[in-house]
Protein backbone atom coordinates (compact mmCIF):
# COMPACT_ATOMS: atom_id res chain seq x y z
CA UNK A 1 0.00 0.00 0.00
CA UNK A 2 1.33 3.47 -0.96
CA UNK A 3 0.52 6.48 1.24
CA UNK A 4 -0.17 9.15 -1.42
CA UNK A 5 -1.41 11.69 1.12
CA UNK A 6 0.93 11.44 4.13
CA UNK A 7 -0.80 14.06 6.24
CA UNK A 8 -4.30 12.66 5.78
CA UNK A 9 -3.41 8.97 5.81
CA UNK A 10 -0.56 8.91 8.32
CA UNK A 11 -2.53 7.14 11.05
CA UNK A 12 -4.17 4.69 8.67
CA UNK A 13 -0.86 3.81 7.01
CA UNK A 14 0.93 3.45 10.35
CA UNK A 15 -1.82 1.18 11.66
CA UNK A 16 -1.72 -0.95 8.51
CA UNK A 17 2.06 -1.18 8.72
CA UNK A 18 1.87 -2.34 12.33
CA UNK A 19 -0.73 -4.99 11.49
CA UNK A 20 1.31 -6.24 8.53
CA UNK A 21 4.51 -6.27 10.59
CA UNK A 22 3.18 -8.27 13.54
CA UNK A 23 3.22 -11.99 12.91
CA UNK A 24 2.42 -14.68 15.44
CA UNK A 25 5.22 -16.82 16.81
CA UNK A 26 4.36 -20.43 16.05
CA UNK A 27 4.44 -22.68 19.13
CA UNK A 28 4.59 -26.37 18.20
CA UNK A 29 3.62 -29.24 20.43
CA UNK A 30 6.20 -31.25 22.32
CA UNK A 31 6.26 -34.41 24.42
CA UNK A 32 6.82 -33.60 28.11
CA UNK A 33 9.04 -36.58 28.96
CA UNK A 34 12.56 -35.75 30.08
CA UNK A 35 12.23 -31.96 29.91
CA UNK A 36 12.62 -31.03 33.56
CA UNK A 37 15.61 -28.72 33.85
CA UNK A 38 17.38 -29.51 30.58
CA UNK A 39 17.12 -27.40 27.45
CA UNK A 40 19.10 -29.89 25.34
CA UNK A 41 15.94 -30.89 23.47
CA UNK A 42 15.50 -27.27 22.36
CA UNK A 43 19.07 -26.49 21.34
CA UNK A 44 18.86 -28.48 18.12
CA UNK A 45 16.27 -26.00 16.84
CA UNK A 46 16.62 -22.27 16.10
CA UNK A 47 15.35 -20.09 18.97
CA UNK A 48 11.89 -18.58 18.68
CA UNK A 49 12.83 -15.25 20.27
CA UNK A 50 16.07 -13.32 20.73
CA UNK A 51 16.01 -11.20 23.88
CA UNK A 52 16.46 -7.45 23.47
CA UNK A 53 18.78 -5.85 26.09
CA UNK A 54 17.70 -2.63 27.83
CA UNK A 55 20.36 -0.88 29.87
CA UNK A 56 23.93 -1.49 30.87
CA UNK A 57 24.42 -4.97 32.27
CA UNK A 58 21.39 -6.45 30.52
CA UNK A 59 21.93 -10.04 29.43
CA UNK A 60 21.74 -11.38 25.89
CA UNK A 61 19.81 -14.56 25.37
CA UNK A 62 17.35 -16.72 23.46
CA UNK A 63 13.98 -18.35 24.13
CA UNK A 64 12.17 -21.45 22.89
CA UNK A 65 8.43 -21.88 23.50
CA UNK A 66 6.55 -25.19 23.28
CA UNK A 67 3.11 -26.57 24.11
CA UNK A 68 2.89 -29.79 26.15
CA UNK A 69 -0.89 -30.16 25.77
CA UNK A 70 -1.44 -29.44 29.45
CA UNK A 71 1.11 -26.66 29.97
CA UNK A 72 3.18 -24.04 28.19
CA UNK A 73 6.96 -24.43 28.41
CA UNK A 74 9.50 -21.63 27.99
CA UNK A 75 13.15 -22.58 27.72
CA UNK A 76 15.92 -20.00 27.71
CA UNK A 77 19.61 -19.31 27.93
CA UNK A 78 21.30 -16.03 28.89
CA UNK A 79 24.91 -14.85 29.02
CA UNK A 80 26.80 -12.57 31.36
CA UNK A 81 28.04 -12.91 34.91
CA UNK A 82 27.00 -15.75 37.20
CA UNK A 83 23.43 -15.16 38.42
CA UNK A 84 22.72 -13.73 41.86
CA UNK A 85 19.32 -15.18 42.71
CA UNK A 86 17.62 -13.94 45.91
CA UNK A 87 17.66 -15.91 49.11
CA UNK A 88 14.66 -13.95 50.37
CA UNK A 89 11.37 -13.45 48.47
CA UNK A 90 11.38 -9.74 49.35
CA UNK A 91 14.60 -9.30 47.38
CA UNK A 92 13.34 -10.69 44.08
CA UNK A 93 13.07 -7.36 42.26
CA UNK A 94 16.62 -6.31 43.18
CA UNK A 95 18.27 -9.62 42.21
CA UNK A 96 18.48 -11.84 39.15
CA UNK A 97 15.01 -13.03 38.22
CA UNK A 98 12.72 -13.76 35.27
CA UNK A 99 9.33 -12.16 34.71
CA UNK A 100 6.69 -13.84 32.56
CA UNK A 101 3.51 -12.09 31.45
CA UNK A 102 0.54 -14.00 30.01
CA UNK A 103 -2.87 -12.89 28.73
CA UNK A 104 -5.50 -14.54 26.55
CA UNK A 105 -6.90 -11.30 25.15
CA UNK A 106 -5.70 -7.75 24.55
CA UNK A 107 -8.81 -6.33 26.22
CA UNK A 108 -11.68 -7.39 28.45
CA UNK A 109 -15.15 -6.56 27.14
CA UNK A 110 -17.39 -5.40 29.99
CA UNK A 111 -21.00 -4.20 30.10
CA UNK A 112 -21.74 -0.50 30.25
CA UNK A 113 -21.65 0.78 33.83
CA UNK A 114 -25.00 -0.04 35.39
CA UNK A 115 -27.00 -2.15 37.82
CA UNK A 116 -30.25 -4.12 37.88
CA UNK A 117 -33.29 -4.91 39.98
CA UNK A 118 -36.19 -7.35 39.79
CA UNK A 119 -37.79 -5.40 36.95
CA UNK A 120 -35.01 -4.33 34.61
CA UNK A 121 -31.37 -3.47 34.02
CA UNK A 122 -30.20 0.13 34.10
CA UNK A 123 -27.12 1.48 32.34
CA UNK A 124 -25.19 4.75 32.50
CA UNK A 125 -23.63 5.17 29.04
CA UNK A 126 -22.66 8.78 29.84
CA UNK A 127 -21.03 7.94 33.15
CA UNK A 128 -21.69 10.49 35.87
CA UNK A 129 -23.64 12.66 33.44
CA UNK A 130 -26.27 9.91 33.27
CA UNK A 131 -27.13 10.58 36.91
CA UNK A 132 -29.21 13.57 35.81
CA UNK A 133 -31.63 11.09 34.19
CA UNK A 134 -31.94 8.91 37.27
CA UNK A 135 -35.57 8.10 37.97
CA UNK A 136 -36.97 9.64 34.80
CA UNK A 137 -39.71 7.40 33.51
CA UNK A 138 -41.06 9.60 30.74
CA UNK A 139 -40.07 12.74 28.81
CA UNK A 140 -40.29 15.86 30.93
CA UNK A 141 -39.95 14.07 34.27
CA UNK A 142 -38.13 16.23 36.85
CA UNK A 143 -34.48 15.66 37.63
CA UNK A 144 -33.76 13.73 40.82
CA UNK A 145 -32.94 15.72 43.98
CA UNK A 146 -29.35 16.89 44.33
CA UNK A 147 -28.65 14.49 47.20
CA UNK A 148 -29.75 11.55 45.08
CA UNK A 149 -27.69 12.77 42.14
CA UNK A 150 -24.65 13.23 44.35
CA UNK A 151 -24.92 9.68 45.65
CA UNK A 152 -25.31 8.47 42.08
CA UNK A 153 -22.20 10.32 40.89
CA UNK A 154 -20.21 8.89 43.80
CA UNK A 155 -21.36 5.40 42.84
CA UNK A 156 -20.32 5.89 39.21
CA UNK A 157 -16.94 7.25 40.33
CA UNK A 158 -16.44 4.11 42.44
CA UNK A 159 -17.11 1.90 39.40
CA UNK A 160 -14.64 3.93 37.36
CA UNK A 161 -11.95 3.25 39.99
CA UNK A 162 -12.94 -0.38 40.35
CA UNK A 163 -12.91 -1.39 36.69
CA UNK A 164 -9.18 -0.96 35.96
CA UNK A 165 -8.36 -3.02 39.07
CA UNK A 166 -10.89 -5.67 38.08
CA UNK A 167 -9.39 -5.95 34.57
CA UNK A 168 -6.05 -6.92 36.06
CA UNK A 169 -7.61 -10.24 37.10
CA UNK A 170 -7.49 -11.26 33.42
CA UNK A 171 -3.69 -11.18 33.17
CA UNK A 172 -0.83 -12.90 34.97
CA UNK A 173 2.70 -11.78 35.82
CA UNK A 174 5.04 -14.23 37.51
CA UNK A 175 8.33 -13.30 39.19
CA UNK A 176 10.50 -16.40 38.94
CA UNK A 177 13.84 -17.51 40.38
CA UNK A 178 15.50 -20.82 41.02
CA UNK A 179 13.42 -21.05 44.20
CA UNK A 180 10.51 -18.60 44.12
CA UNK A 181 7.39 -18.30 41.97
CA UNK A 182 5.29 -15.24 42.77
CA UNK A 183 2.25 -14.03 40.82
CA UNK A 184 2.54 -10.27 41.24
CA UNK A 185 -0.15 -8.65 39.05
CA UNK A 186 -3.53 -10.35 39.39
CA UNK A 187 -2.98 -11.43 43.01
CA UNK A 188 -2.63 -7.89 44.42
CA UNK A 189 -5.57 -6.86 42.23
CA UNK A 190 -7.67 -9.67 43.66
CA UNK A 191 -6.80 -8.54 47.16
CA UNK A 192 -7.56 -4.93 46.23
CA UNK A 193 -10.97 -5.77 44.76
CA UNK A 194 -11.88 -7.88 47.77
CA UNK A 195 -10.66 -5.31 50.30
CA UNK A 196 -11.50 -1.97 48.68
CA UNK A 197 -14.63 -2.68 46.66
CA UNK A 198 -16.32 -5.96 47.61
CA UNK A 199 -15.96 -5.99 51.40
CA UNK A 200 -19.31 -4.23 51.89
CA UNK A 201 -21.13 -6.01 49.04
CA UNK A 202 -23.13 -8.92 50.48
CA UNK A 203 -24.10 -10.19 47.03
CA UNK A 204 -20.49 -10.27 45.85
CA UNK A 205 -17.85 -10.58 48.55
CA UNK A 206 -18.15 -14.28 49.45
CA UNK A 207 -18.56 -15.81 46.00
CA UNK A 208 -16.84 -13.47 43.57
CA UNK A 209 -14.20 -12.80 42.37
CA UNK A 210 -12.95 -16.12 43.78
CA UNK A 211 -13.07 -17.69 40.30
CA UNK A 212 -10.49 -15.13 39.15
CA UNK A 213 -8.05 -15.64 41.99
CA UNK A 214 -4.76 -16.90 40.49
CA UNK A 215 -4.43 -20.65 40.90
CA UNK A 216 -1.88 -23.27 40.03
CA UNK A 217 1.88 -23.38 40.45
CA UNK A 218 4.40 -22.24 37.87
CA UNK A 219 7.55 -24.35 38.05
CA UNK A 220 11.04 -23.12 37.17
CA UNK A 221 14.27 -25.08 36.75
CA UNK A 222 17.57 -23.17 36.55
CA UNK A 223 20.93 -24.64 35.57
CA UNK A 224 24.03 -22.58 36.27
CA UNK A 225 26.90 -23.14 33.88
CA UNK A 226 30.63 -22.82 34.27
CA UNK A 227 30.95 -19.31 32.91
CA UNK A 228 33.26 -18.86 29.95
CA UNK A 229 33.17 -16.88 26.75
CA UNK A 230 31.38 -19.63 24.86
CA UNK A 231 28.94 -20.82 27.55
CA UNK A 232 25.73 -19.23 28.90
CA UNK A 233 25.63 -17.87 32.43
CA UNK A 234 22.56 -19.98 33.10
CA UNK A 235 19.73 -21.77 31.35
CA UNK A 236 16.17 -22.09 32.55
CA UNK A 237 12.96 -23.90 31.85
CA UNK A 238 9.54 -22.60 32.95
CA UNK A 239 6.38 -24.70 32.93
CA UNK A 240 3.02 -22.88 33.15
CA UNK A 241 0.14 -25.37 33.57
CA UNK A 242 -3.14 -24.51 31.91
CA UNK A 243 -4.83 -24.32 35.31
CA UNK A 244 -2.57 -21.35 36.13
CA UNK A 245 -3.56 -19.48 32.95
CA UNK A 246 -5.58 -16.29 33.08
CA UNK A 247 -9.22 -16.68 31.95
CA UNK A 248 -9.73 -17.77 28.35
CA UNK A 249 -12.51 -16.26 26.17
CA UNK A 250 -12.65 -19.24 23.80
CA UNK A 251 -12.63 -23.03 24.05
CA UNK A 252 -9.97 -23.18 21.34
CA UNK A 253 -6.66 -22.35 22.96
CA UNK A 254 -4.66 -20.99 20.05
CA UNK A 255 -3.62 -17.32 20.40
CA UNK A 256 -2.00 -15.92 23.53
CA UNK A 257 -0.05 -12.83 24.49
CA UNK A 258 3.24 -13.68 26.18
CA UNK A 259 6.21 -11.58 27.29
CA UNK A 260 9.41 -12.68 29.02
CA UNK A 261 11.78 -10.25 30.75
CA UNK A 262 15.15 -11.36 32.18
CA UNK A 263 16.43 -9.02 34.91
CA UNK A 264 19.96 -8.55 36.15
CA UNK A 265 20.83 -7.52 39.73
CA UNK A 266 20.22 -3.90 40.65
CA UNK A 267 23.30 -1.65 40.89
CA UNK A 268 23.91 0.22 44.19
CA UNK A 269 21.20 2.78 44.86
CA UNK A 270 18.71 1.25 42.39
CA UNK A 271 15.64 -0.86 43.10
CA UNK A 272 15.88 -2.91 39.90
CA UNK A 273 18.58 -3.85 37.45
CA UNK A 274 18.80 -3.74 33.67
CA UNK A 275 16.68 -6.21 31.76
CA UNK A 276 16.27 -7.93 28.44
CA UNK A 277 12.82 -8.46 26.94
CA UNK A 278 11.14 -10.64 24.36
CA UNK A 279 9.00 -7.77 23.02
CA UNK A 280 10.39 -4.88 20.95
CA UNK A 281 7.38 -2.69 21.87
CA UNK A 282 7.15 -3.70 25.51
CA UNK A 283 4.85 -1.65 27.77
CA UNK A 284 4.23 -2.71 31.36
CA UNK A 285 0.77 -4.26 31.81
CA UNK A 286 -0.29 -3.73 28.18
CA UNK A 287 -0.95 -7.15 26.59
CA UNK A 288 -1.24 -5.65 23.11
CA UNK A 289 2.51 -4.97 23.33
CA UNK A 290 3.42 -8.53 24.32
CA UNK A 291 4.55 -11.18 21.86
CA UNK A 292 1.72 -12.80 19.94
CA UNK A 293 2.14 -16.58 20.13
CA UNK A 294 0.05 -19.17 18.32
CA UNK A 295 -0.22 -22.81 19.38
CA UNK A 296 0.12 -25.16 16.40
CA UNK A 297 -1.99 -27.18 16.64
CA UNK A 298 -4.52 -25.44 18.85
CA UNK A 299 -5.64 -27.14 22.06
CA UNK A 300 -9.43 -27.53 21.94
CA UNK A 301 -11.59 -27.92 25.02
CA UNK A 302 -15.19 -29.08 25.24
CA UNK A 303 -17.76 -27.68 27.62
CA UNK A 304 -19.68 -30.76 28.84
CA UNK A 305 -20.14 -33.91 26.73
CA UNK A 306 -22.96 -32.07 24.97
CA UNK A 307 -20.35 -29.60 23.64
CA UNK A 308 -22.60 -26.63 24.44
CA UNK A 309 -20.08 -23.89 23.71
CA UNK A 310 -18.82 -21.09 25.94
CA UNK A 311 -21.85 -19.05 26.98
CA UNK A 312 -23.96 -18.34 30.04
CA UNK A 313 -27.22 -16.68 31.01
CA UNK A 314 -27.82 -13.90 33.53
CA UNK A 315 -30.67 -13.50 36.01
CA UNK A 316 -32.87 -12.13 33.24
CA UNK A 317 -32.17 -15.24 31.10
CA UNK A 318 -30.19 -13.19 28.57
CA UNK A 319 -27.24 -14.97 26.96
CA UNK A 320 -23.65 -13.71 27.23
CA UNK A 321 -20.24 -14.86 25.98
CA UNK A 322 -18.33 -16.56 28.77
CA UNK A 323 -14.77 -17.12 30.01
CA UNK A 324 -13.23 -20.21 31.57
CA UNK A 325 -10.02 -21.52 33.11
CA UNK A 326 -9.06 -25.06 32.07
CA UNK A 327 -9.18 -27.49 34.96
CA UNK A 328 -6.21 -29.79 35.25
CA UNK A 329 -8.27 -32.80 36.27
CA UNK A 330 -10.40 -32.32 33.18
CA UNK A 331 -7.69 -31.34 30.72
CA UNK A 332 -8.23 -34.54 28.75
CA UNK A 333 -12.00 -34.56 29.19
CA UNK A 334 -14.85 -32.10 29.59
CA UNK A 335 -14.95 -28.69 31.21
CA UNK A 336 -17.83 -27.81 33.51
CA UNK A 337 -17.30 -24.29 34.89
CA UNK A 338 -17.26 -20.88 33.27
CA UNK A 339 -18.34 -17.33 34.13
CA UNK A 340 -19.85 -14.27 32.51
CA UNK A 341 -19.41 -10.58 33.28
CA UNK A 342 -22.64 -8.81 34.17
CA UNK A 343 -23.77 -5.86 36.22
CA UNK A 344 -24.85 -6.77 39.72
CA UNK A 345 -28.60 -6.95 40.25
CA UNK A 346 -30.88 -7.71 43.16
CA UNK A 347 -34.54 -7.18 43.91
CA UNK A 348 -34.93 -3.81 45.55
CA UNK A 349 -32.01 -1.92 43.98
CA UNK A 350 -33.97 1.04 42.63
CA UNK A 351 -30.98 3.38 42.87
CA UNK A 352 -27.44 2.56 41.65
CA UNK A 353 -26.07 -0.27 43.76
CA UNK A 354 -23.51 -3.05 43.80
CA UNK A 355 -20.53 -3.34 41.50
CA UNK A 356 -20.31 -3.11 37.74
CA UNK A 357 -19.42 -5.68 36.59
CA UNK A 358 -19.39 -8.80 38.75
CA UNK A 359 -18.54 -12.37 37.88
CA UNK A 360 -21.54 -14.66 37.53
CA UNK A 361 -20.44 -18.30 37.80
CA UNK A 362 -21.84 -20.77 35.28
CA UNK A 363 -21.78 -24.37 36.44
CA UNK A 364 -22.66 -26.92 33.77
CA UNK A 365 -23.49 -30.55 34.53
CA UNK A 366 -24.52 -33.69 32.69
CA UNK A 367 -25.93 -37.17 32.95
CA UNK A 368 -25.23 -40.20 30.78
CA UNK A 369 -28.16 -42.08 29.28
CA UNK A 370 -26.36 -44.73 27.27
CA UNK A 371 -23.14 -45.17 25.28
CA UNK A 372 -22.41 -41.82 23.65
CA UNK A 373 -25.78 -40.37 24.75
CA UNK A 374 -26.03 -37.45 27.17
CA UNK A 375 -28.28 -34.79 28.60
CA UNK A 376 -26.76 -31.60 30.01
CA UNK A 377 -27.82 -28.58 32.07
CA UNK A 378 -28.54 -26.00 33.33
CA UNK A 379 -29.64 -25.05 29.79
CA UNK A 380 -31.20 -28.40 28.98
CA UNK A 381 -29.62 -30.00 25.93
CA UNK A 382 -29.22 -33.45 24.38
CA UNK A 383 -26.37 -35.04 22.45
CA UNK A 384 -26.03 -38.44 20.87
CA UNK A 385 -23.18 -39.00 18.42
CA UNK A 386 -23.57 -36.26 15.82
CA UNK A 387 -27.00 -35.15 17.03
CA UNK A 388 -27.28 -32.08 19.22
CA UNK A 389 -30.50 -30.46 20.37
CA UNK A 390 -31.14 -27.58 22.76
CA UNK A 391 -34.39 -28.35 24.53
CA UNK A 392 -35.36 -24.87 25.70
CA UNK A 393 -35.64 -25.43 29.46
CA UNK A 394 -33.51 -24.52 32.46
CA UNK A 395 -32.94 -27.27 35.01
CA UNK A 396 -31.17 -27.68 38.34
CA UNK A 397 -28.31 -30.05 39.08
CA UNK A 398 -29.81 -31.55 42.23
CA UNK A 399 -32.00 -34.45 41.22
CA UNK A 400 -31.07 -34.12 37.53
CA UNK A 401 -31.45 -37.53 35.93
CA UNK A 402 -32.82 -39.39 32.92
CA UNK A 403 -34.00 -42.86 31.97
CA UNK A 404 -36.01 -44.62 29.30
CA UNK A 405 -39.67 -45.52 29.76
CA UNK A 406 -40.74 -49.02 28.67
CA UNK A 407 -41.99 -47.62 25.32
CA UNK A 408 -38.61 -45.96 24.62
CA UNK A 409 -39.66 -42.44 25.58
CA UNK A 410 -36.83 -40.50 27.23
CA UNK A 411 -37.81 -39.19 30.65
CA UNK A 412 -35.82 -36.33 32.18
CA UNK A 413 -36.15 -35.31 35.82
CA UNK A 414 -35.30 -31.91 37.30
CA UNK A 415 -35.45 -32.12 41.09
CA UNK A 416 -36.90 -32.50 43.52
CA UNK A 417 -34.86 -29.63 44.90
CA UNK A 418 -35.23 -26.50 47.00
CA UNK A 419 -33.88 -23.18 45.76
CA UNK A 420 -34.32 -19.47 46.39
CA UNK A 421 -35.31 -16.47 44.30
CA UNK A 422 -32.23 -15.01 42.63
CA UNK A 423 -33.58 -11.52 43.20
CA UNK A 424 -34.79 -12.23 46.73
CA UNK A 425 -37.94 -10.25 46.01
CA UNK A 426 -41.43 -10.59 44.62
CA UNK A 427 -44.20 -12.72 46.06
CA UNK A 428 -42.86 -14.27 49.27
CA UNK A 429 -39.35 -13.35 48.08
CA UNK A 430 -37.58 -15.05 50.97
CA UNK A 431 -39.71 -18.21 50.81
CA UNK A 432 -38.16 -21.42 49.50
CA UNK A 433 -39.12 -22.59 46.03
CA UNK A 434 -39.51 -26.19 44.96
CA UNK A 435 -38.59 -27.58 41.56
CA UNK A 436 -40.08 -30.96 40.64
CA UNK A 437 -40.52 -31.35 36.89
CA UNK A 438 -40.67 -34.33 34.59
CA UNK A 439 -40.08 -34.02 30.85
CA UNK A 440 -40.70 -36.50 28.07
CA UNK A 441 -38.72 -36.48 24.84
CA UNK A 442 -39.90 -38.39 21.79
CA UNK A 443 -37.75 -39.98 19.06
CA UNK A 444 -37.78 -36.70 17.11
CA UNK A 445 -36.35 -34.88 20.17
CA UNK A 446 -39.54 -32.96 20.82
CA UNK A 447 -39.63 -31.99 24.51
CA UNK A 448 -42.87 -32.04 26.46
CA UNK A 449 -43.38 -30.84 30.04
CA UNK A 450 -45.02 -33.97 31.38
CA UNK A 451 -45.40 -32.87 35.03
CA UNK A 452 -44.72 -29.66 36.95
CA UNK A 453 -45.19 -29.81 40.71
CA UNK A 454 -42.95 -26.86 41.59
CA UNK A 455 -43.96 -23.74 43.45
CA UNK A 456 -43.44 -21.50 46.47
CA UNK A 457 -43.67 -22.96 49.96
CA UNK A 458 -44.60 -20.59 52.79
CA UNK A 459 -42.81 -22.60 55.44
CA UNK A 460 -43.26 -19.79 57.94
CA UNK A 461 -46.73 -21.24 58.58
CA UNK A 462 -45.41 -24.73 59.14
CA UNK A 463 -46.17 -25.96 55.63
CA UNK A 464 -43.88 -28.49 54.03
CA UNK A 465 -43.60 -30.67 50.95
CA UNK A 466 -41.79 -33.76 49.79
CA UNK A 467 -41.85 -36.26 46.93
CA UNK A 468 -41.36 -39.90 46.08
CA UNK A 469 -40.93 -41.68 42.74
CA UNK A 470 -41.33 -45.31 41.77
CA UNK A 471 -38.16 -46.98 40.53
CA UNK A 472 -39.36 -46.84 36.92
CA UNK A 473 -40.62 -43.22 37.30
CA UNK A 474 -44.06 -44.22 36.09
CA UNK A 475 -45.54 -42.88 39.34
CA UNK A 476 -44.73 -39.62 41.14
CA UNK A 477 -46.23 -38.74 44.53
CA UNK A 478 -46.32 -35.31 46.13
CA UNK A 479 -46.61 -35.09 49.91
CA UNK A 480 -48.02 -31.91 51.45
CA UNK A 481 -48.19 -30.87 55.09
CA UNK A 482 -50.94 -28.51 56.23
CA UNK A 483 -50.04 -25.38 58.24
CA UNK A 484 -49.63 -25.71 61.99
CA UNK A 485 -52.75 -25.25 64.11
CA UNK A 486 -53.38 -22.46 66.63
CA UNK A 487 -51.40 -24.33 69.26
CA UNK A 488 -48.36 -24.58 66.97
CA UNK A 489 -48.84 -28.29 66.47
CA UNK A 490 -47.71 -29.54 63.05
CA UNK A 491 -50.43 -30.21 60.52
CA UNK A 492 -51.23 -33.60 58.97
CA UNK A 493 -49.70 -34.88 55.72
CA UNK A 494 -51.56 -35.89 52.56
CA UNK A 495 -50.32 -37.33 49.27
CA UNK A 496 -51.34 -37.06 45.64
CA UNK A 497 -50.04 -39.45 42.99
CA UNK A 498 -49.62 -38.94 39.24
CA UNK A 499 -49.18 -41.82 36.75
CA UNK A 500 -47.51 -41.61 33.35
CA UNK A 501 -49.96 -42.03 30.48
CA UNK A 502 -48.38 -41.53 27.11
CA UNK A 503 -46.38 -38.28 27.25
CA UNK A 504 -48.06 -36.85 30.39
CA UNK A 505 -48.56 -37.68 34.03
CA UNK A 506 -52.18 -37.74 35.11
CA UNK A 507 -53.56 -37.69 38.65
CA UNK A 508 -54.26 -41.25 39.71
CA UNK A 509 -54.64 -41.25 43.52
CA UNK A 510 -54.96 -39.21 46.71
CA UNK A 511 -54.57 -40.14 50.39
CA UNK A 512 -55.05 -38.33 53.68
CA UNK A 513 -53.13 -38.65 56.96
CA UNK A 514 -50.09 -40.34 55.49
CA UNK A 515 -46.51 -40.58 56.64
CA UNK A 516 -44.07 -38.46 54.61
CA UNK A 517 -40.98 -40.00 53.00
CA UNK A 518 -38.29 -41.05 55.45
CA UNK A 519 -35.57 -40.07 54.92
CA UNK A 520 -36.91 -36.92 53.29
CA UNK A 521 -35.84 -35.85 49.81
CA UNK A 522 -36.42 -32.20 50.67
CA UNK A 523 -34.83 -32.16 54.09
CA UNK A 524 -34.57 -28.35 53.93
CA UNK A 525 -38.37 -28.14 54.28
CA UNK A 526 -38.86 -30.79 56.92
CA UNK A 527 -39.78 -29.45 60.36
CA UNK A 528 -37.11 -29.90 63.00
CA UNK A 529 -39.34 -32.20 65.01
Number of residues that make up the chain: 529
Closest by CA to 505, choosing from 514, 493, 497, 515, is 497
* pLDDT at 3 (0 to 100): 41
Residue 283 lies in a domain: yes
272 and 401: one domain? no
Mean pLDDT of the chain: 88
**Residue range 368-408, pLDDT digits in tens:** 998 999 999 999 999 998 899 999 999 999 999 999 998 88
Q: How far apart are CA 264 and CA 85, in angstroms?
A: 9
Report residue 130 CA to chain centroid gap.
30
* pLDDT at 391 (0 to 100): 95
439 and 485: one domain? yes
The pLDDT-based confidence of 327 (bands split at 50, 70, 90) is confident
For residue 6, the SS3 value is helix
Mean pLDDT, rounded, for 431-445:
93
Mean pLDDT, rounded, for 253-260:
98
The total number of structural domains in the chain stands at: 3
Question: Domain containing 141: what range?
Answer: 114-167
467 and 407: one domain? yes
HEC per residue, 99-156: EEEEECCCCCCCCCCEEECCCCEEECCCHHHHHHHCCCCCCCCCCCCHHHHHHHHHHH
The pLDDT-based confidence of 515 (bands split at 50, 70, 90) is very high
497 and 373: one domain? yes
**Residue range 93-115, pLDDT digits in tens:** 999 999 999 999 999 999 999 99
143 and 228: one domain? no
175 and 189: one domain? yes
Of 273, 300, 327, the last residue of a domain is: 300
104 and 238: one domain? yes
159 and 193: one domain? no
Q: How far apart are CA 335 and CA 8, in angstroms?
A: 50
| Entry pTM | 0.88
Q: Is residue 33 pLDDT above 50, yes or no?
A: yes
The pLDDT-based confidence of 230 (bands split at 50, 70, 90) is low
163 and 188: one domain? no
* pLDDT at 345 (0 to 100): 85
36 CB neighbour count, 10 Å cutoff: 10
233 and 295: one domain? yes
* pLDDT at 17 (0 to 100): 42
| Helix, strand, coil % in the chain, rounded to nearest 5 | 15, 40, 45
250 and 392: one domain? no
**Residue range 422-431, pLDDT digits in tens:** 877 666 767 8
- Which range (14-18, 184-188, 376-380, 463-467) has the least confidence? 14-18
384 and 480: one domain? yes
Q: How far apart are CA 529 and CA 526, in angstroms?
A: 8
Amino acid sequence: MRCLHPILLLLACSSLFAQEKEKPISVPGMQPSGLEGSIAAFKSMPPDITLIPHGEGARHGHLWIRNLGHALVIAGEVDGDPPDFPKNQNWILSKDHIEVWLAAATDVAMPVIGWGNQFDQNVFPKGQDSCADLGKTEPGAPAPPEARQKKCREWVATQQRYRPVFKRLFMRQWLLTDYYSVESYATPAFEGVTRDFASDQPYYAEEVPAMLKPQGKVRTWVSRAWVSHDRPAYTFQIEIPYVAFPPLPTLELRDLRLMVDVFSPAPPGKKMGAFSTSSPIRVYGKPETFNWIRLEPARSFQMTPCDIGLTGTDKYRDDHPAWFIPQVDESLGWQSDAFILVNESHGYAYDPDGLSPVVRPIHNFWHGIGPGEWICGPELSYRESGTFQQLGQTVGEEGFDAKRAPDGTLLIKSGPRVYGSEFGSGQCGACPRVDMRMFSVDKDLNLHLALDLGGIVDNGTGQSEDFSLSDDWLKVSKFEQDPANDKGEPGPWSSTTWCLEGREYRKCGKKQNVEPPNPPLLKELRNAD
